[in-house]
Amino acid sequence: MLLHLPVALVYGVGGVGKSTLVYALAAGRGGPVVYDSVSAGEPLAALVDDVRRQLARGAVPEAMDDEERLRDLAERLDESGALWVLDDLHRLEENARIRLVDALGRELRNGRFVATSRELVPMLGGTADRFELKLGGLDEQNARALWANLDTLYGPSSGFDVAWTRSRGNPFHLRRAHAGGVHEEDPLSAALRTLSADQRLIATVLALSAFDMNVTLVERLLPEPRARAALRELVVRLILEVDGSGRCMLHDIHRDALLASLSGEELREHHARIAELLSTAEMDPVVRVRERCRHLCACERFAEAGQLLLESGAELIRLGVASELFRGFEALPPEHRTPEIIHARARTLARLLDVRRAHEELIRLDVSKAREPLDIQASLAHVSMLAGDLAAAEHQARAVLEDPRATDALRMRTGTVFALTRTYRGFGDEARAFIDAAERRAALPVHLGFLRFTRAFTFWLDERNAEAVEAMGSARAVARDAPPTFRAGVLGPMFYAGLLSSTGRFERAGELLKQTESLVRHEQDPRLRVSWHAMHAMFLHERGERAAALAELRTLEDAFHRSGELLGELWARVWIGRELMLLGQCAEAERLLGETDALARERGILGICAAVERSRREEPLLRLREERVETPHPEKRGEVTRAKAITALLSVAAGDTVAARGAIEAVRAAALGTDYGLDRAMVALAESLAARLAGNPDAEREARQRAEAEASAASVDPGLLGRLSDALGATRLVTASGRSMLAEAPRDDGHVIVDARRHELRYPGHVVALKQRPVLRKLLYALANRPGDVLPKELLVEQTWNKPYEPLVHDNLLWVNVCRLRELVSGSGMTLERDERGYQLRVPEQFVYIAPGRGD
């Protein structure tokens, strides 16, 4: 069945042969096999991380939650085509059991998972198919056959009928009865009472162990001849089994009975013995630390357990199990946590992106009782900065920097926090002056490179990207001469990629991101992975992939919010607001930016407030009102397209149809895909306004409908196009030199003005009312709309009387009204001339025709 389904469960009561069956299956399978068993109370995270390390044969990336952990496990099982055999699944908490089986059933493709359990794991709705095999007791015929085989192997034994009645066909109990004690009321207890001291010691140690010890390790409990003899006898008496790899497995039935027979003092003695045994054991270092701490705590040697965790912390973090380290700290009672343990615990929390709890713990810590107070103060400064408590961060950083006991490395680390804190508070120039002074004191290239990296980061926070690129180039030059570090080899290039994308160098930026992505995926520090995604979001933004950037930023915002990292959350919100502005979802953007600005001002994070204002400046309506058209880098498609769309609208409003047409065509060529719905709507709006200027209502209506359709499909705010149109000008002007739009009608200032909104003819010293002259004003408006052009009689008749032209009816009527109109405008500088094709209005240079609005 495993050829067809990736997950199999073998379940049934204890002793029916579940483990024997799956071990036989694994032994006959080609390819890698990973064995494990669940210890009572073991968390899912520890179990999965152990298997991930076995598959990786070393360190694995720190997973932020069980979902990420299970995905990574499935990928590793698939990559190697491995089989994971897990014993005693029922010992996991029920919800963890369900999640484990469900996740592997959905994710596995090439890898396989087989588990034994005393209980069937419930299936969730939509869970992938799996194979389930229930093992029960033997019927009497097969039970007799087993008994006969045991007679052949170990010699005849009487009492089958009693054994059959008591065992109900359970193979383990039948074997146990055949080995002796069949007439005892409780054969198991009887068997344990007859154990020698050596046998009982080994069995008890195995009962207390949360993992299957190897024969080599078990034999160290006693002098070699005695240990081997005791092991052999335990195997013969069916209390212990040893598999082909040398693992010693004690059945649950014996484990429970042994532990129930021990006094509290005996338990503590055995826990201490195991802790000592594991101190030099050659085994998975994570399991060794975990088990030693568990046994030390069980015998109340909490100080030793805490010291072991402090000494092992760096190795556990290197192996990608900071969560394991944290669980070890959690197991220590609060009254036994020294300042050093609390500090290490808080740093572990911060590493696991739980900044909120790390900050709370460090704030409560009494630094005066610590052996290394400066190190704790430096950590508090860093965590306070991330949590958005900038005043506390600056105070702690200053205290470390001013203390003569601070080492150069600690000064560099704390100086970085100080400079970034000042930048976030809105004093970037002061921060860079501080870095200048620190650079002059730096003795090591690695310190100098890190300080220059910090300078580049402060420029980036202030969005002075060109200066940031220059500073980063200098930092990279120094780093080439410094000893290599992993963070410098990953964090530096990924940040440089973000900077390069801000200047339009996408090819090189993409290469750096791709290189660092593969490294970060296997890196144990979750914060590096978050940093990579932040730089990737910037890369997408600068390249004009607005929707993808928005999705990445929303994921980052959620991660920062859950961790309590306020600075990161506010930064993500600023850029989410900017992306929403670009997409035309300005109401949501303003709500988000307003909340961000208020919170940042409350916390004194003025650098974020400045970034909020920069994001607000991306509002299309504001850019149009300011007539702001930058000249972006030609490779930055998003900025180029938006600049062209703004240019199209402004050119139409100014009557520059040539420039408008060029901008419209440029946008049409570039504004493809869902990211550019607003840009397409803007150029359709420009075409609508151009048609309006040309007096073509049908074309105006058709283009406006296209604009609205594009805006609606892109979820642009309702009414945004209308506001853009109004900002360009509700007033259409016709002058002697061309047409344009204005938000307000011009002042007279010596002009000859035909005002179709107020129905007036105005020229210096005169105002001629047209409201009571409907025929003359319609005739005048038609001619004034196209000054200098000869308008055919057909058009004049249609626009004046709204009827088709008939020579016999309209020639004389038109001639009479033209004569009356000629008298009306005499003295204004305008003249009416007749042509064989129609009539023409000649106007002075200072002529302005104010066309009627939509409702006029």
635-694 pLDDT, tens digit each: 999 999 999 999 999 888 877 888 889 999 999 999 999 999 999 999 999 999 888 878
Same domain flag for 633 and 717: yes
675 and 721 assigned to the same domain: yes
The continuous run of DSSP H or E covering 356 comes out as helix 355-364
Q: What number is the average pLDDT over the span 80-104?
A: 93
CATH label of the domain that carries residue 748: 1.10.10.10
One-letter amino acid at 557 equals E
**For 242, phi and psi rounded to 5 degrees?**
-125, 125
Decide which of 618, 633, 658 is a domain's last residue: 618
Query: Has residue 718 got a pLDDT over 70?
Result: yes
What's the first-to-final CA gap in the chain, in angstroms? 80
Same-domain check for residues 784 and 835: yes
Percent of the chain with pLDDT over 70: 95
Separation between Cα atoms, residue 682 and residue 666, nearest integer Å: 13
Tell me which residue range forms the domain holding 184.
140-192
Do 199 and 214 contact (CB within 8 A), yes or no?
no
In a domain, 321, yes or no: no
Angle (CA) 308 383 346, round 5°: 25
Contact 365, 343 (CB under 8 A): yes
| pLDDT value at 136 more than 50 | yes
Q: What is the 3-state secondary structure (H, E, C) of 59-76?
A: CCCCCCCHHHHHHHHHHH
Let me know: does 828 contact 783? Beta carbons within 8 Å: no
181-204 burial, b at 16+ Cβ within 10 Å, e below that, comes to bbeeeebbeebbeebeebbbbbbb
Burial profile 21-31: b = 16 or more Cβ within 10 angstroms, e = fewer: bbbebbeeeee
Query: CA 748 → CA 735, 740, 755, 848, distances in Å?
Result: 13, 17, 11, 9
Which tens digits make up the pLDDT trace of 189-237? 667 778 899 999 999 999 999 888 889 999 999 998 899 999 998 888 7
Tracing tokens 């869902």 back to the chain, one arrives at 674
Confidence at 182, pLDDT banded by 50, 70, 90: low
Residue 534 domain-assigned?
no
| CA angle 35–38–41, rounded 5-degree value | 160
HSE toward the beta carbon, residue 556, CA cutoff 13 A? 29
- Of 728, 748, 783, the one marking the end of a domain is 728
Residue 604 scores a pLDDT above 60:
yes
Who contacts 834 (Cβ-Cβ below 8 Å, separation ≥6)? 818, 840
d(C-alpha 816, C-alpha 810), whole Å: 10
* Three-state DSSP string of 655-722: CCHHHHHHHHHHHHHHCCCHHHHHHHHHHHHHHHHHHHHCCCHHHHHHHHHHHHHHHHHCCCCCCHHH
Are 853 and 797 within 8 A, CB to CB?
Answer: no
Q: Across the strands, what pairs with 831?
A: 842
Higher pLDDT, 482 or 557: 557
Select the more confidently predicted residue: 760 or 482: 760
Q: What is the pLDDT of residues 742-797, one digit of tens each?
A: 655 567 677 888 888 889 999 988 999 999 999 999 999 889 888 888 999 998 99
With CA atoms as reference, report the closest residue to 510 among 518, 501, 519, 502. 501
**In degrees rounded to 5, what are phi and psi of residue 766?**
-140, 145
Confidence of residue 81 (pLDDT cuts 50, 70, 90): very high
Mark 817-833 as b/e (b = at least 16 C-beta within 10 Å).
bbeebeebbeebebebe
| Among 487, 501, 449, 493, CA closest to 471 | 449
What is the average per-residue pLDDT within 299-327? Answer: 93
3-state secondary structure of 235: helix
User: Is residue 786 included in any domain, yes or no?
Assistant: yes
- Is position 124 within any domain? yes
Helix (H) or strand (E) holding 791: strand 790-792
Tally of domains in the chain: 6
* The pLDDT value given to residue 459: 97
Structure token pair of residue 815: 């001639």
* Residues 130 and 12 grouped into a single domain: yes
Rounded to whole angstroms, how far apart are CA atoms 2 and 113? Answer: 9
Determine the Cα–Cα distance for residues 455 and 672; give it in Å rounded to an integer. 38
What pLDDT is recorded for position 422?
A: 97
Identify the domain boundary among 170, 192, 214.
192
pLDDT in tens, 540-552: 999 999 999 999 9
Task: Kindly tell me if the per-residue pLDDT of 80 is higher than 60.
Answer: yes
Displacement of CA 30 from its chain's centroid (Å): 39
Strands 739-742 and 731-735, by their bridges, are antiparallel
- Do 724 and 751 sit in the same domain of this protein? no
On whether the CB atoms of residues 446 and 486 are closer than 8 A, the answer is no
Is residue 651 located within the same domain as residue 714? Answer: yes
User: What's the CATH code of the domain at 41?
Assistant: 3.40.50.300
Determine if residue 66 is left, alpha or beta; phi over 0 gives left, psi from -120 to 50 gives alpha, anything else beta: alpha
In a domain, 355, yes or no: no
The C-alpha R_g of the chain, in whole angstroms, comes to 41
Chain centroid to Cα 416, Å, comes to 25
pLDDT of residue 655: 79
The helix or strand, by DSSP H or E, that contains position 834, with its residue range, turns out to be: strand 831-835
Structure tokens at 144: 């007799």
Q: Can you tell me the distance from the alpha carbon of 825 to that of 830, in angstroms, rounded to the nearest whole number? A: 6
- In the numeric block, the tokens 């506010």 are attached to 570
**Position 751 in a domain:** yes
Q: How, if at all, do strands 847-850 and 752-755 pair?
A: parallel
Same domain? For 27 and 129 the reply is yes
Question: Are β-strands 752-755 and 760-763 bridged in parallel, bridged antiparallel, or unpaired?
Answer: antiparallel
Question: Degrees (nearest 5) of the Cα angle 80, 85, 88?
Answer: 150
Q: Distance between CA atoms of 198 and 185, rounded to whole angstroms?
A: 26
pLDDT value of residue 855:
46
pLDDT classification of 853: cutoffs 50, 70, 90? low
Spatial separation of the C-alpha atoms in residues 557 and 576, rounded to whole Å: 9
Q: How many CA atoms lie within 13 A of 406 on its CB side?
A: 22
Per-residue pLDDT for 701 more than 60?
Answer: yes
Same domain, 206 and 298: yes
What's the rounded Cα separation, in Å, for the pair 247 and 85? Answer: 14
Q: Does residue 720 share a domain with residue 704? A: yes
Same domain, 577 and 605: yes
Query: Does residue 366 carry a pLDDT above 90?
Result: no
**Distance from chain centroid for Cα 674:** 22
Q: Are residues 128 and 154 in the same domain?
A: no
Q: How far is CA 549 from CA 37, 553, 636, in A?
A: 43, 6, 14
**Interatomic CA distance for residues 112 and 316, integer angstroms:** 28
Contacts of 623 (CB under 8 A, 6+ apart): 617, 629, 642, 646
- Residue 178: is its pLDDT beyond 50? yes
Residues 11, 116: contact at Cβ < 8 Å? yes
Instruction: Give the C-alpha separation, 369 to 725, whole Å.
Output: 68
Instruction: Give the pLDDT mean for 308-325.
Output: 91
Let me know if 319 is exposed, middle or buried by CB neighbors in 10 A (0-12, 13-18, 19+).
buried
**Under a CB-based contact definition with an 8 Å cutoff, are residues 143 and 169 in contact?**
yes
- 840 and 787 in a common domain: yes
Measured over all CA atoms, what is the biggest interatomic distance in the chain, rounded to whole angstroms? 139
- Domain annotation covers residue 512: no
For residue 155, count other CB atoms closer than 10 A to its CB.
8
Residues 818-843 pLDDT 10s: 999 999 999 899 999 988 888 999 98
pTM reported for the whole predicted model: 0.79
Domain assignment of residue 369, yes or no: no
